[in-house]
Amino acid sequence: MSISQFIEEKSRQLCFYLRAFWQGTLNYQELNYFFWDTLEEWSLYRSDDLEPSTHKERVFWHLLHQIHYWREDQLTDDEILREELTHCVAYLKGESVYPMDCIGIRP
């Protein structure tokens, strides 16, 4: 699987998990498990890969970092944060333009 395929697959999953969490059908611990499972899968890729990152990849890593960085209550209750993250989700799903404030980088 190429890096772009990995990002495509994991982006779909991340959007699904985050939306389910916001809808109350997925608990925070499962969202956290997804974070760690994704990093474990990513560790299988060579760190010296020269394939440049895309806008989609940068938004993906940014969003993944955000769901791990913020507390559960902040992810659900902070309206400004939710709006920013919703914009990232919309971009990953092809429903919005690139969010310029995303600074995600590969781990």
Does pTM surpass 0.75?
yes
How wide is the angle at C-alpha 62 spanned by C-alphas 4 and 103, nearest 5°? 100
Judge contact between 10 and 45, C-beta under 8 A.
no
Annotated domain spans of the chain: 3-92
DSSP per-residue codes, 52-69 = PPPHHHHHHHHHHHHHHH
All residues at 6 or more sequence positions from 85 whose CB lies less than 8 Å from its CB, including other chains = 18, 63, 66, 67, 75
pLDDT given for residue 94 in this prediction? 95
Region class of 102: left (phi > 0), else alpha (psi between -120 and 50), else beta: beta
78: three-class secondary structure by DSSP? coil
What pLDDT score was predicted for residue 45?
Answer: 73
pLDDT of residue 3: 86
User: Could you list the pLDDT tens digit for every one of the 107 residues in the chain?
Assistant: 788 899 999 999 999 999 999 999 999 999 999 999 999 999 887 655 667 789 999 999 999 999 999 999 999 999 999 999 999 999 999 999 999 888 888 88
